[in-house]
Amino acid sequence: MIVVEKQGHVLAAYDPQYVPRRTVKPPQRGEVTEFSRKSRRRMLLFLNRCDFSATRTSFLTLTFHAVPTIEDATRSFQKFMKRLRRAFQACAGIWRKEFQARGAAHYHVLLVNVPYVGWRSILRTWRECTPDHEGSIHIKLLRTHKAIIGYVSKYIAKAPEEVVSPLLDVSPYLTAPQKPSIGRSWGWINKEGLPLAQTTRILIDDPDMSASIWAAAALETNGKCGTNPHVVIIFRQDAAESMAFIMAHVRAYLPLPADRGKICYTVRNELIAA
């Protein structure tokens, strides 16, 4: 038995009866010292579960004039977002923090549900939140899905660049406790206001079809669909079409002989016996 789930541009298949066994206690999360691969994958998974097509979406970049500390940069960003939310209660967004070559942090924010505001007003508010009352902004309305994907891939979901260190730079050889904390690298504002897509699930209780879907996932990703044999996650632009294709095959399997098990499918989280 497997469950095939679609939400936004995410297709996932998993065994609902699988419970991972932990032989040791999972380690507690310590200080964040880098934008790790796992953190980037979690961010991509969350972004792809959203549907920005029906919302007014803007892309905002916030830059500091000086080089503030991590604490001051975080405090400035939080203060700015609180002011924005007081002005527009429905405002929501996903943010990513990066560091420039000079060491200063700057923020990229994908904003939804924010009406037109003059850039001078946004700049004035941002400067009031920064330690030296300086800084710059860049805001752009994203009118198409293609533009949203372009900005997300170029700025928010961009993998950290590999920095070639000088010979005497020992920072790459430091252990995690020795590296400086950079704080969280990404997050959301007002999660309830984000346009999370509707979830559709199919419960398949047929060994042959379950094996076929798992094989198709391995073929789609060239065998790189994850190391967990009980869970597979794929990002696809045509996830809705793929889900419709699977559901069509589910219906094609019906009716089934008694010895082949039972197939059920769910639409919008409501389980319907096939």
Mean pLDDT within 214-237: 73
CATH top class, domain 50-160+179-193: alpha beta
**pLDDT higher than threshold 80 for residue 113:** yes
Q: State CA 189 to chain mean position distance.
A: 13
Residue 257, preceding peptide bond in cis (omega within 30° of 0): no
Q: Is pLDDT larger for residue 95 or for residue 254?
A: 95
**What is the pTM (predicted TM-score) of this model?**
0.77
208-218 average pLDDT score: 77
The CA distance from 110 to 115, in Å, is 14
By the 8 A CB rule, do 51 and 195 touch? yes
Residue 219's Cα: distance from chain center in Å? Answer: 24
How many whole angstroms separate alpha carbon 170 and alpha carbon 241?
50
Alpha-carbon gap, residue 117 to 140, rounded angstroms:
11
d(CA 78, CA 196): 23
* Bridge partners, 13 (sequence order): 4, 232
- In this predicted structure, what is the pLDDT of residue 176? 47
**93-97, 128-132, 172-176, 226-230: the lowest-pLDDT one:** 172-176
Average pLDDT value for residue range 224-246: 78
Q: How many CA atoms lie within 13 Å of 115's alpha carbon, on the beta-carbon side? A: 4
How confident is the model at residue 227, as a pLDDT? 59
For the segment 183-210, what is each residue's pLDDT rounded down to a tens digit? 888 999 999 999 999 898 888 877 777 7
* Per-residue pLDDT tens over the stretch 72-102: 999 999 999 999 999 999 999 999 999 888 8
Which band of pLDDT confidence, cut at 50, 70 and 90, is reported for residue 71? very high
**Can you read off the two tokens belonging to residue 89?**
């209660």
Round to whole Å and give the CA distance between 9 and 233. 10
**Between these two residues, 267 and 39, which has the higher pLDDT value?**
39
Q: What residue spans define the domains of the chain?
A: 2-18+198-273, 50-160+179-193
